[in-house]
């Protein structure tokens, strides 16, 4: 039985913990444990005043307008900028404490923290609750539910579209009905540290969220980067192609290494193997961090290597593991 205190099994990106655990691992570490793009949108020219001055409400409004245009949302008042989609999940859990709730599992752990009493279901066709929560595409298996099917579900629906930027066709937007949609900025644009996300909801919910968030919900740096990125359609198109090509390359490497692909998006791949736990340890000793899961010991999630040196190290580590196992 795996100890539930294992920090690697609940969030990716735990490099400090990995370095302490695998003290003799080569550096620099290669972090493949998250679903964050290894290629970031180029930050706008550094403006020291962004750190000195309070963010301007007008700049926040421009950001939400730009995001609304990207998402195809007609009314920017329905788009609420938040300091990362994770905090939006927790706030919605407080705003919508519905008794009869369900979530499509497996799912990101933050949803379980926000709605701890929600019934776990494995099929969207089995929904019969007042509130239904799902991620689309899902993390970690990349499962998708057709937008047409989501529009048929009765009751309040919350859709976490943190990975939808890689494939906008799966999004419930712009025709969301009364559903609440969450979008992440940091994953697709490779700027997770800026902590920026969005909630798209009816005006009544948007107003309540804004009241909870206060007058300065996101930093000036996040506003500047988000505004520039959402206005740069060419970069977004190029990013999708680059991610798709890298994911195909990763598929080939993982398959050649004897690992069974069971899902993913163009930002990550999920594999299954009887010796997944041993592989996690072996890669950790090689200075490569991937993502194990508390729910299934046989699964590991791999993100995308950022450059050829990282590809080479991952290739060598997988080859050596096969020879040693």
Domain 9-35+235-324 has CATH 3.40.50.150: no
Domain boundaries, the chain: 9-35+235-324, 53-231
Q: How far is it, in rounded angstroms, from Cα 99 to Cα 115?
A: 10
Q: Is the pLDDT of residue 99 over 90?
A: no
Q: Is the pLDDT of residue 88 over 50?
A: yes
Length of the chain: 325
pLDDT band per the 50, 70, 90 thresholds, residue 46: confident
Cβ atoms of 245 and 234 within 8 Å: the answer is no
Q: How far is it, in rounded angstroms, from Cα 117 to Cα 101?
A: 7
Least confident stretch, 51-55, 121-125, 158-162: 121-125
Q: What ranges make up the beta strands (E) of the chain?
A: 30-31, 79-82, 101-104, 119-121, 131-135, 156-160, 180-184, 197-200, 260-265, 268-272, 288-289, 291-292, 299-303
Looking at the chain, the number of H-run helices and the number of E-run strands are 12, 13
Q: How far is it, in rounded angstroms, from Cα 101 to Cα 131?
A: 5
pLDDT at 1: 34
At residue 54, the 3 state secondary structure works out as coil
pLDDT at 50: 86
Which CATH class for the 53-231 domain?
alpha beta
Q: How far is it, in rounded angstroms, from Cα 159 to Cα 179?
A: 7
Per-residue pLDDT reduced to its tens digit, 212-245:
999 999 999 999 999 999 999 999 999 999 999 9
Sheet holding 299-303, edge to edge: 260-265, 268-272, 299-303, 291-292
pTM: 0.93
Which one-letter DSSP state was computed for residue 154? -
- Average of pLDDT values for 93-107? 88
pLDDT at 102: 93
Q: How far is it, in rounded angstroms, from Cα 175 to Cα 31?
A: 36
- Average of pLDDT values for 45-54? 85
pLDDT band per the 50, 70, 90 thresholds, residue 44: confident
Sheet holding 101-104, edge to edge: 79-82, 197-200, 180-184, 156-160, 131-135, 101-104, 119-121
Least confident stretch, 46-50, 221-225, 253-257, 317-321: 46-50
Least confident stretch, 37-41, 154-158, 292-296: 292-296
Cα-Cα end-to-end distance for the chain: 22
Q: Is the pLDDT of residue 5 over 70?
A: no
Per-residue pLDDT reduced to its tens digit, 126-135:
678 899 999 9
Q: Is the pLDDT of residue 4 over 50?
A: no
The mean pLDDT of the chain is 94
Cβ atoms of 322 and 258 within 8 Å: the answer is yes
Q: Is the pLDDT of residue 3 over 80?
A: no
Q: How far is it, in rounded angstroms, from Cα 9 to Cα 3?
A: 10
Cβ atoms of 88 and 181 within 8 Å: the answer is no
Q: Is the pLDDT of residue 2 over 50?
A: no
């Amino acid at each position: 039985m795996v100890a539930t205190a294992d920090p690697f099994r609940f969030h990716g990106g735990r490099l400090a913990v990995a370095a302490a655990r695998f003290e003799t691992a080569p550096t620099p570490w290669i972090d493949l444990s998250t679903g964050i793009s290894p290629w970031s949108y180029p930050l706008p020219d550094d403006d020291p005043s962004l750190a000195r001055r309070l963010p301007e409400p007008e700049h926040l409004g421009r950001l939400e307008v730009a995001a609304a245009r990207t998402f195809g949302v007609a009314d920017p008042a329905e788009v609420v900028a938040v300091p990362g989609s994770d905090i939006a999940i927790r706030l919605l859990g407080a705003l919508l404490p519905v008794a009869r709730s369900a979530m499509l599992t497996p799912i990101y752990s933050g949803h379980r923290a926000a709605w701890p009493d929600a019934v776990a279901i494995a099929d969207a066709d089995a929904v019969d609750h007042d509130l239904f929560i799902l991620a689309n595409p899902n993390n970690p298996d990349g499962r998708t539910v057709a937008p047409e099917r989501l529009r048929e579900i009765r009751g309040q629906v919350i859709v976490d579209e943190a990975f939808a930027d890689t494939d906008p066709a799966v999004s419930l937007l712009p025709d969301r009905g009364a559903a609440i949609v969450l979008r992440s900025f940091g994953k697709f644009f490779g700027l997770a540290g800026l902590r920026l996300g969005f909630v798209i909801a009816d005006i009544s919910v948007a107003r309540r969220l804004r009241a909870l968030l206060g007058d300065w919900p996101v930093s000036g740096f996040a506003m500047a980067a988000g505004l520039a990125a959402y206005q740069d359609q060419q970069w977004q198109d190029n990013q999708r192609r680059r991610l798709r090509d890298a994911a195909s390359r990763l598929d080939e490497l993982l398959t050649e290494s004897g690992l069974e692909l069971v899902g993913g998006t163009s930002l990550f791949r999920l594999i299954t193997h009887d010796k997944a736990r041993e592989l996690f340890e072996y890669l950790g000793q090689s200075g490569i961090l991937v993502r194990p899961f508390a729910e299934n010991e046989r699964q590991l999630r791999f993100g995308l290597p950022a450059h050829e040196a990282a590809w080479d190290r991952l290739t060598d580590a997988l080859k050596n593991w096969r020879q040693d196992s």
